[in-house]
Each structure stands twice: as structure tokens, then as C-alpha cells.
Amino acid sequence: MRKHLMKGNEAIVKSAILAGCRAFYGYPITPASEIAEAAAEFMPKTGGVYVQAESEVAAINMLYGAAAAGVRAMTASSGPGISLMQEGISYMAGAELPCVIADITRSGPGLGNIAAEQGDYHQVVKGGGHGNYRTLVLAPHSVQEMADLTTRAFHLAARYRNPVVVMADGFVGQMMEPVEFQEQAVEAPPPPWAVTGTAATRPNLISSLHLDCDEMERHIRALEEKYRRAQIHEARAELYHADGAGIVLVGYGIVGRILKAVTAEARAAGLNAGLLRPITLYPFPAAHFQRLAAHARVFLVVEMSNGQLLEDVRLALNGERPVEFFNRMGGNVPGHEEVLRFVHEQARRHLPGSSVSEHGSPGRLPALTPDEEHLVDV
């Protein structure tokens, strides 16, 4: 199919429809509002349903009802709205109901502002609601991946009967790029466990309530087994010049794009640098880190939050290699030049014998200013 120029937020909706989604329930919030706008336009045209709920709490519970009826359904919001949805997400995970949730992240805490950030990592990746559950989380870094990973999100939701979150920072949601969609639309009939109002489905019961303690424990252990399968089979990451690299940059979303350019420039200057970009934030691609640790001397984590991704990188490496940290927050995106200075500075610390071309010598780069020195030794 020919490529179409569009925003990442719009690409999510069109890809969802092609993946069989026929219901959208949501409440507009910047920087995710274009998702609701596109859903309002396109869902009815494909025989689907669009409902602007009175709140995010109402939207997530409408999603519960649609999923229980076997309909592929989704919602979208940003940080404050995702916070309001946490109870419903926990209920859907407990009831093993598949759905897709788009989180186009903005700065917090509280109302924060409408600029892009990555501070939703903990509440989305770790499970911000009640109880022992996880959501699968995909992190696109381009408009094409907004489309591709939305398709994958519906596939994973159906496979694991679990909520799946597409978590993209506001930059990726708002940027416009050419995108190509799958050619064949998916037809998704109700699964056999759904409650569709027919005599055949009357025995089906969908609930997250288990009053007997032993029954509740068995249910939780069954959920844990499902998450273990996902950890084995679904972890994804992009590696860019990472095999054999002595210094590995780590970042997701828009930061991953910045780091790819920085990696290319650092290599041109003679540094043995590579990039590991997590695509699945849960399951976390820990095995990729462990494999690279066999040769990497140091890992450099760059993110637009206060070290939330950093915690998972630490756990994945388990102290085998040093980890350094650079961040910006409040809606500030790490600049190419400040990240490049950070890379060269860490190369001087951890790779003293690095061969660097005269043109790109680290010594020719100015030191980080106090405002840019967002560094934490691990």
C-alpha cells in the first residue's frame, strides 16, 4: 500500500481498525486528543462504536463490558487519565479481558503540563492498580511503529487475554511521518469464553472475584504463569551497532531516536558505541542486556523521567557492569549535543584506551554545564 502522511495518534486508530477493533471509549486529553478525534471519525465508518465517556473511569469500565462481550476494543489517554483508569485496568487483568490502551505521556506529577515526558513508566510498566497483575507494554519510537505496535498489541491482548498498553511520549504521538499499513484487515469473531447474550454463552462467567483464598491463589499463580510465558516469548528490543560495543546507550521512545543519531556520530568519532532500544517495556528485554554485558564496559541510560527505566536496567544487569544516567524532565527533551557530550565524558571515564579521531576528539567537546549534568553513578 502507498504510504500516508499522518500523526502518530491517528496512525494508532487506523491500525487498530485494521486489527479488528470495533469499539473505542475515551475522554480527550492532551497530547492524546487526536486519538479520540480519529476514532470518532473512523470507527462508525467501519461499523464500529465510538463513545466519548463522561470520564476516564467510565471509559475503562465501558472497555471492560465490550471486552467481556468479545469485541476488540481500546481506549486512549495520558498520565492523569491513565491514573484514573488504574482500578479498571486491574479489574480487566484479573478477569483476563483483552484490550488495548494507548498512553501518550505528558509531564507530571499532578496536572504537570502538556509537554512530552516518560514519567508514566512506573504506573504503566509495574502495574499501577490493585493486586498481583501486569500489563504488557510496547514503546514505539516512530509513527510507523505506532501503527505496527498497535497491530501487535491487539495480537498480544488476544493471545494472553490481558490488557496491553502502547506507551508513546507526546513527541511520537504528535509528530507526522509517512506510514504504511497492513493490507489485510483482521476479522475478529467473539472468542468462545465471551458473554454475547446468547444461550450458548450463558454459562460463561467473567469476573475477577474469587472469595475462596485457595481459589484466589490458584488464579494469581495462573496469571503469573501467563506472564512468565510472555517474558520468554515476547521481549523485544532494537540493537544498533550493539554487538561488540564497549559503550551501550539505552533509551526508548523519542529518546531512542536521539540516541541512534548520537551513536552514529560517536562511532564516526572513533568510539565503539552501540544502542539498545527496548521495544517491550514489559516484558523487559533483560536477556538482551545480559548478552551485551559479555563485552560492554558501561551502559548509558538516557530518559525523560527521574530514573524509572534506570531501575529495570540495573535489575537486568545485576551489578555486572557500571550504569551511568542522563535525564531531562518537565517536558524537556535531551538535546543531541548534550547527550553526545555525556557519551564522550563517560567514554573518558570507562574506556580510557578508546581510539578517537582528531575531528571528533572528546577533548574538543566542552564539558557538561551544571544544568546538563543529570548524572547518577550506579
Interval 263-311: pLDDT, tens: 999 999 999 999 999 999 999 999 999 999 999 999 999 999 999 999 9
Q: Mean pLDDT throughout 18-42?
A: 97
Q: In the sheet where 298-303 sits, what is the strand order?
A: 237-240, 273-278, 247-250, 298-303, 323-327, 376-377
CATH number of the domain that residue 169 is part of: 3.40.50.970
Interval 187-216: pLDDT, tens: 899 999 999 999 999 999 999 999 999 999
Is residue 98 domain-shared with residue 202, that is, in the same domain? Answer: yes
**What is the spatial distance between Cα 68 and Cα 22, in angstroms, rounded to a whole number?**
14
Confidence label for 115 from pLDDT (cuts 50, 70 and 90):
very high
End position of a domain, from candidates 233, 267, 292: 233
Is residue 18 domain-shared with residue 131, that is, in the same domain? Answer: yes
Domain enclosing residue 284, as ranges: 238-377
Q: Mean pLDDT throughout 163-184?
A: 95
Our count of domains for the chain comes to 2
Confidence label for 366 from pLDDT (cuts 50, 70 and 90):
very low
Is residue 88 domain-shared with residue 217, that is, in the same domain? Answer: yes
End position of a domain, from candidates 209, 233, 257: 233
What's the predicted TM-score (pTM) here? 0.92
Residue-level length of the chain: 378
CATH number of the domain that residue 333 is part of: 3.40.50.920
End position of a domain, from candidates 180, 215, 233: 233
pLDDT of residue 184: 84
Task: List residues bridging with 74 in a β-sheet.
Answer: 24, 100
Confidence label for 352 from pLDDT (cuts 50, 70 and 90):
confident
Is residue 178 domain-shared with residue 97, that is, in the same domain? Answer: yes
Is residue 46 domain-shared with residue 113, that is, in the same domain? Answer: yes
For 136, residues 6+ apart whose C-beta sits below 8 A from its C-beta are: 153, 156, 157, 160, 162, 163, 164, 165, 230, 234, 280, 282, 283
Q: Mean pLDDT throughout 38-59?
A: 97
